[in-house]
Amino acid sequence: MFKEVKKSIQWGEDTLTLETGKVARQADGSVIATYGETSVMANVTFAKAPREGQDFFPLTVHYQEKYYSAGKVPGGFFKREARPTEKETLTARLIDRPIRPLFVPGFKNEVLVMCTVLSHDLVNDPDMVAMIAASAALTISGAPFMGPIAGCRVGFTDGEYVLNPEVDDMHDLRNNPEQRLDLVVAGTKSAVMMVESEAYELSEEEMLGAVNFAHEQIQPVIDMIIDLAEDAAKEPFDFQPPDYSDLYEAVKAAGEDKLAAAYKIQDKQERTSAVSAAKEEIKASLSEEQLEDPNLGSALKKLEASILRGDIVKSGKRIDGRSLDEVRPIVSETGLLPRTHGSALFTRGETQGLVVTTLGTGDDEQIIDALHGNFRSNFLLHYNFPPYSVGEAGRVGPPGRREIGHGKLAWRALQAVLPAATDFPYTIRVVSEITESNGSSSMASVCGGSLSMMDAGVPLKAPVAGVAMGLVLEDDGSYGILTDILGDEDHLGDMDFKVAGTEAGITSLQMDIKVAGITPEIMEKALEQAKAGRLHILGEMAKALTEASEFSVHAPRIETMQIPTDKIREVIGSGGKVIREIVEVSGAKVDINDEGVIKIASPNGEAIQKAYDMIHSIVAEPEEGKIYKGTVVKIVDFGAFVNFFGKRDGLVHVSQIENRRLNHPSDVLKEGQDVWVKLLGFDDRGKVRLSMKVVDQETGEEAKKEEPADE
């Protein structure tokens, strides 16, 4: 009934297995990849004809984490998987980016790739397993896919690269100082196609070494996918790339000069209008048959690319007049908004980000429900890209995949320089509002985020800047590497290479390549050129701010205190009664964790001190020999009970009230009276023994002993 094919190799610390032929047989390609005890099923389907008039490649990648894979029930009210989590969205993008350029040019049939996590061993992250499964499913599906690819994760510990480190070591590098890198690389047999990373100030050499290490490690996986395809692949889909050379020549003859002139305009809005007008003139000169040709869009794009790319390689000049390694003019400003905790406006040419920082308390931490367990994040970065930033009147909706991906890239770039939570116990939320865009708004978010946090008083280890690099690679091997690329250079170039970091090293690297054949030499040169650009941008940012400013008066102050864990119950009280009373009386916000760390927050210093004193009185122990001010709460025949330390009461025996014999304590004391007492110690049963007579009741100081009379 089943025609199963199964292949296995030893890869790193675990066995990697690919199997097909048993599940989802109606899909064009279906593969279950298992690494350790983490299993992901990838299913590929593709339309056998393009939609009429379609002029783009409609590839969709979905990645789904099923909670049953880790033996968990989903959280929330509905108790089922719903909209994609941030992790699922980011993983779908990770898979999409390296496979998209590898479909045969001109293929415009709809393709759907669905990756489903079936089992998770809580050790091996399913994302790389999903990428391998997707590549294998595409390779055996018969689709015109020029793969396979494979991907892996690389760590960097004690100067050594680590293949596929455990998931617990990677989800929070800030709390794992031994691990300095979380790098994901995807590539073919001959070339690296995609890089994504967060790092702790690695040098360019260390980062390049990690990329090369990853490319070496994925080779046996690629060989295994090829081995699987030899036994299980379907017949290749009969697809011939469209020949539109005649149409291209007609388009070129009709408007090459017009488009070339339009691309010489340096202002983006004017250039965009001129390019659109030139295209309309080209279309006006074409026949009706040529206008209806579905390859017209491809012909126009090819002409645009030829004009833009040819000028870059031949003349070393770009459409806005800059040299290849020149960064656009930068203006950095901070403290723009009066009521926010921190704000910055970062402008680089025609790209601009208004970035705002808000400081919160422990209650504001984000609880993340992940397959490998729940954890909290006290650093949030949200990126917004409204239509007006590019002069459009588009639809506004919830964050899309692009906004989530760009926000995470900026988050990765900045997390390495954040202070430890023990030193700066705040939840930090950074929001980047992109107000203008013409190239690398994510890197503007990094620069603006760094400035905004410093404006809010966050003691960053060092400022961070980011720069986007581009590449034009010609058929004869000549190339040009571009610093600080424009939107058009990104759209029509061969590589998008974003590097962020401090003066000391790289904190994030993201690379997407649209062609195979990027050599280590090109990558090395791009990293060197990116470093020069990054240092230049850091210098421009320093004109606005170089270190943390004073706290805004509107930001909460947070004080921390450590209490013994066996005192937590006393601070919280039955049903939270005690801690609610502390909050109500002091006016401060109080948060306590399972380790006994208490965070007290308020813009008002007096409120913090009041809450601190109230908690201290609950958890602290009275010290023998110290003098305390107390209140008489009960009088009995043999003495008086005095409340002297929080809720702690002690007995002042009648013999310890005054230096004379009393008939009854009520001779000198009454309930509610304030008195000074000294803690003499504790009896055999732990009861407190207090004395009034050894303390001057006027001053609260220890009474002087009377000198014995001379005989």
pLDDT of residue 711: 43
Under CATH, what is the fold of the domain 245-293+295-315? Arc Repressor Mutant, subunit A (1.10.10)
CB atoms within 10 A of CB 476: 7
Cβ contact 90:405 at 8 Å = yes
Cβ burial, residue 100 (10 Å; 0-12/13-18/19+): middle
Which pLDDT belongs to residue 322?
Answer: 86
Across residues 75-79, what is the average pLDDT? 84
The answer on pLDDT for 708 being more than 60 is no
User: Comparing 245-293+295-315 with 627-691, is the CATH topology the same?
Assistant: no
Domain ranges of the chain: 5-232, 245-293+295-315, 330-471+523-541, 557-619, 627-691
The contacts of residue 342 (CB under 8 Å, 6+ apart) are 334, 335, 356, 357, 358, 359, 452, 453, 454, 455, 456, 457, 458, 549, 552
Helix axis angle for 605-619 and 577-586, nearest 10°, is 150
d(CA 622, CA 343): 47
Burial of 168 (0-12, 13-18, 19+ CB in 10 A): middle
The mean pLDDT value for 449-478 works out to 91
Residues 371, 67 contacting (CB under 8 angstroms): yes
Q: Which CATH class is domain 5-232?
A: alpha beta
Report pLDDT for 475.
72
134: nearest Cα among 154, 149, 122, 118? 149
- Does the pLDDT at position 143 exceed 90? yes
Per-residue pLDDT of 378-397, as tens digits, reads 999 999 999 999 888 888 88
Tens digits of per-residue pLDDT, 176-217? 778 899 999 999 998 899 999 999 999 999 999 999 999 999
pLDDT of residue 307: 81
Q: How confident is the model at residue 593 (pLDDT cuts 50, 70, 90)?
A: confident
pLDDT of residue 625: 87
* Helices and strands in the chain, H and E counts: 16, 29
Decide if domain 557-619 falls under CATH 3.40.50.300.
no
User: Is-contact 619 571, C-beta < 8 A?
Assistant: yes
Please choose, from the candidates 343, 367, 372, 347, the residue with its C-alpha nearest in 3D space to the C-alpha of residue 356. 343
Alpha-carbon distances of 107 from 97, 291, 295, rounded to whole Å: 16, 20, 11
pTM to 2 decimals? 0.85
Confidence of residue 705 (pLDDT cuts 50, 70, 90): low
Burial group, residue 524, by CB count within 10 angstroms (0-12, 13-18, 19+)? middle
Q: Could you give phi then psi for residue 146, rounded to 5 degrees?
A: -95, 45
Fold classification of 627-691 is OB fold (Dihydrolipoamide Acetyltransferase, E2P) (2.40.50)
Residue 257 structure tokens: 């000069």
Cα-based distances in Å from 80 to 18, 43, 69, 71:
28, 22, 13, 13
φ, ψ of residue 350 to 5 degrees: the values are -100, 20
Query: What is the C-alpha separation between 491 and 98, in angstroms, rounded?
Result: 16
pLDDT per position as a tens digit, 277-332: 999 999 888 888 888 888 888 888 888 888 877 777 777 778 788 889 999 999 99
Tokens read off for 126: 């399913």
CA atoms within 13 A on the CB side of 445: 31
Q: Per CATH, is 330-471+523-541 categorized as 3.30.460.10?
A: no
Three-state DSSP class for 606?
helix
